[in-house]
Structure 1
Amino acid sequence: MRLRGIAVVGTALVAAGLVCPVSGQATAIGARPVLVSPNTPRPGERIDVTVPGCEAAGSGRRWARSAAFTGTVTLTGDDDLGVGTAVVRRDARPGVYDVTARCGDRTIVGGLKVSTKRPWPGLLPTPLNAQIADAARLKG
């Protein structure tokens, strides 16, 4: 009986997580996105910045900057993909920040949403959750 209660509570928590996604996911804004990983950066966290379609034509310089970053990020990578690593400022407040990427003579503007909240734990079953689910199935 107790396992069934745990399963019900677990199901409710998962459903709530799907209905109300975690605030603080990094999002791209604009036609040419600026991708950020991990997708829920917090202040002080190191993140990967990827800019598809960021060719080094013209001046050949590629960089990205944001008020959320500790400094300007140099983008490297293939001719059509700019990649770099940034650090979110420790004093960055939760909210949306512009991310400007310079790709040769072109400018790509995206966005980043920073949060101080921790992300939900993975939704994949852990060994303990799998044991609980198996026990609940056996009890019927």
Structure 2
Amino acid sequence: MRNTRALAAAGAAVAVLGLAAPTATAGGDHNQPRNIVALPSVIARGGQMTVTVDGCPQGGTMTSDAFRTTHLTPVRGANETSRGTATIRQDARPGSYDITVNCSGRRLTRPAAFTV
């Protein structure tokens, strides 16, 4: 019975490491945008939203169907992070919207990043 528990624990540990490995590898490329965060995640038309992107040390741009193309500026003291503020269009329809960022020629899209 003890061996069965030990094998089950070892199998679970291997499974967790297997899931964590792609994340660790993706984080190793410092010039690849990742982790797009939009706050607030639910916003009214005309409201302002802050978007933060890791892996974007030089700044860049962000786009969405709900706001105009907006600049991302490097965050002082945050090694690889950039941030921008977007104003949601008055004519944006209710629903979920994607955000696409472009940092140093590399693009990343976060589907359903926020809701109007």
**Interval of TM-score (by shorter of Structure 1 and Structure 2):** 0.5 to 0.7
Counterpart CA distance in 2 for 1:105 and 1:48 is 22
1:2-17 mapped onto 2 (5 Å cutoff): none
Paired position in structure 2 for 1:62: 60
Paired position in structure 1 for 2:47: 45
Residue identity matched to 1:66:
S
Counterpart CA distance in 2 for 1:40 and 1:98 is 13
Secondary structure of 1:36's partner? strand
Q: Is the Cα–Cα contact under 8 Å of residues 46 and 87 in structure 2 kept in the other structure?
A: yes
1:1-140 mapped onto 2 (5 Å cutoff): 32-56=34-58, 62-69=60-67, 71-78=68-75, 79-111=79-111, 112-115=113-116
Counterpart CA distance in 2 for 1:88 and 1:33 is 21
CA apart distance, 1:40: 1.6
Percent identity over the alignment is 35
Counterpart CA distance in 1 for 2:43 and 2:37 is 12
Paired position in structure 1 for 2:19: none
Residue identity matched to 1:77:
P
Secondary structure of 1:40's partner? coil
Q: Give TM-score scaled by structure 2 length.
A: 0.61
Query: What is the number of equivalent residue pairs in this alignment?
Result: 80
CA apart distance, 1:39: 2.5
Q: Give TM-score scaled by structure 1 length.
A: 0.51
Secondary structure of 1:72's partner? strand
CA apart distance, 1:83: 0.3
Counterpart CA distance in 2 for 1:92 and 1:33 is 24
Q: Is the Cα–Cα contact under 8 Å of residues 64 and 99 in structure 2 kept in the other structure?
A: yes
Counterpart CA distance in 1 for 2:34 and 2:47 is 24
- Unpaired segments ≥5 residues, structure 2: 1-32
**Which consecutive aligned stretches of 4+ in structure 1 deviate over 3 angstroms post-superposition?**
none
Larger radius of gyration: 1
Higher strand proportion: 2
Residue identity matched to 1:83:
R
- Unpaired segments ≥5 residues, structure 1: 1-30, 116-140
- Seen in structure 2, the aligned counterparts of structure 1 residues 37 and 113 have a Cα distance that, compared at 3 Å, is closer
